Amino acid sequence: MSTDFVPNGSRPAGVFPAVPRVIYKTKRKNLSHEGRIGRIETVETLNLFRDFSHAFNAHRPRLDPALAGFLHNHGFLPDKGALYGLAPRAPQDPEAELEDPSKTDTAPPEPEPLDPWLSDFQAAILPLANGRYAPALSNRLFFWRLYTNTLPLVPLLGSVEQGHLIRRDRRAQGTILARPMFTSHKDAPEWEPTPQGGGGDRILLDLPPQGAVSQVTRMLVIYDPKTRNPVIVSAVLLEGALDTLDRSGTTLTSRRIDVETGIAGPAMQFTRGLPVAPEMTDPDTVLLSNWWLMVRNVTAGLVRLPVGVVVQIDLLRTAEETDTVIIDATDRIDAAGHQIHGPVMGGEVAVRFIKEFGV
């Protein structure tokens, strides 16, 4: 019958591969950063690599060529050398070691192994692992619509689209937070709704009243390919003005939260984009009183609506400190914020994830 003309693109076999492998087409044995860039061949990954490469070359002051070559070929931006303490391994010279055994005591410590670090280029290609659900996590308006009854999101007041203000039937109770609608836009969040047009599309969120210091709990959630459950692989407590949290050049304080216990470790201060090692500003630990509530809220929601495989979620405690709300969700991972305390991809789940999705 003529009515069986099926629309283009509704053939599931082509549009729904079981596992969207990003760069490596098969499961690989090791997690080395060697060779990843050599394997880039799809249009999306090539574009992302070009962006990475431009960002790398725009960095000033220039690094020592040997270190720059090492970082670039492993997918790290120049500031990560000092920020994470990454350096190429010293060339092995077994003969020298045999002749002078005492040398091992005075030699500089071997740099950290590189494999468990999430490189900047890897962070850029992670959203591709979301496959056909990538649009759900790269558009904040859509994310808010999709998870409106599933996650504790702050209320959506409206949006600014193509210069038109779309208002929902709701009055603001607290501060209005405007965020870019698309996570891949490079412009920073702003506090005021942009006037006509301005800096692109925004969503307007109704931020609840909060304490004097804004502490944002940032979670990196990935799906475990084996158990198919969302797993929080890293969580940090960031202190700093909300609007500049992700802006380059901002000085921030970050505490790593132990996912098992909810204890936030010592505070480390670092500046985004600066090749300076983080500095400990407060050696004391802090116990997050409502950590389990946060974990339960986030994972329960993501279990009910399994869309995508990697997402970073920002939570804010309300003034009463009894409840938490989600103020941001994005597929762009803040690699530096998580990793100034150490690599995040070393865990069992993270290793499975990287192998499964070929990032």
CA quadruple 287, 288, 289, 292: dihedral sign: negative
Least distance (Å) between residue 305 CB and another protein: 6
Query: Helix, strand or coil for residue 1?
Result: coil
- Residues 183 and 21: their CA atoms lie apart, in Å, by 21
Q: Which stretch binds another protein (CB under 8 A): 42-50, 189-197, 230-238, 305-313?
A: 305-313
Shortest Å, Cβ 12 to another protein: 5
Please report whether residue 10 would count as binding another protein according to CB under 8 A.
yes
Q: Does residue 134 bind another protein (CB under 8 A)?
A: yes
Q: In what order do the strands lie in the sheet with 175-180?
A: 164-167, 156-161, 202-207, 175-180
> Is 201 one of the binding residues for another protein (CB under 8 A)?
yes
* CB closer to another protein out of 89 and 304: 304
Taking the least distance from each CB to another protein, the nearer of 7 and 109 is 7
Question: By CB under 8 A, which span of 69-77, 129-137, 238-246, 248-256 interacts with another protein?
Answer: 129-137
Q: Is 89 in the site for another protein (CB under 8 A)?
A: no
Query: Concatenated DSSP letters for 239-281?
Result: ES-GGGTT-TT-EEEEEEE-TTT-EEEEEEEEETT-----EEE
Answer yes or no whether residue 39 interacts with another protein by CB under 8 A.
Answer: no
Query: What is the C-alpha to C-alpha distance for residues 167 and 158, in angstroms, rounded to an integer?
Result: 4
Q: Which is nearer to another protein, 32 or 227 (CB)?
A: 227
Stretch that binds another protein, among 36-44, 163-171, 206-214, 283-291 (CB under 8 A): 163-171
Q: Is 148 in the site for another protein (CB under 8 A)?
A: yes
Give 1 or 96: the residue with its C-beta nearer to another protein: 1
Is position 26 an interface residue for another protein (rule: CB under 8 A)?
A: no
Q: Is 183 in the site for another protein (CB under 8 A)?
A: no
Q: Which residues contact 141 (CB under 8 A, 6 or more apart)?
A: 156, 159, 181, 201, 203
Tokens of 257: 């939260």
With respect to another protein, which residue has the nearer C-beta, 243 or 356? 356
Main-chain phi, psi angles of 5, to 5 degrees: -70, 105
Query: How many whole angstroms separate alpha carbon 269 and alpha carbon 192?
Result: 28
Rg (CA), the chain: 22
Closer to another protein by Cβ: residue 130 or 339: 130
If one asks whether residue 3 binds another protein (CB under 8 A), the answer comes out as yes
**Least distance (Å) from another protein to the CB of residue 123?**
21
How far is CA 106 from each of CA 92, 100, 103, 110, rounded to the nearest angstrom?
Answer: 15, 11, 5, 12
**Contact between 157 and 168 (Cβ < 8 Å):** yes
331 near another protein (CB under 8 A): no
> Footprint of another protein on residues 277-296 (CB under 8 A)?
none
**Candidates 55-63, 135-143, 189-197, 341-349 — which segment interacts with another protein by CB under 8 A?**
135-143
Residue numbers of the site for another protein (CB under 8 A)?
Answer: 1-13, 15-18, 132-136, 139, 141-142, 145-150, 159, 161-162, 164, 166, 168, 201, 228, 303-307
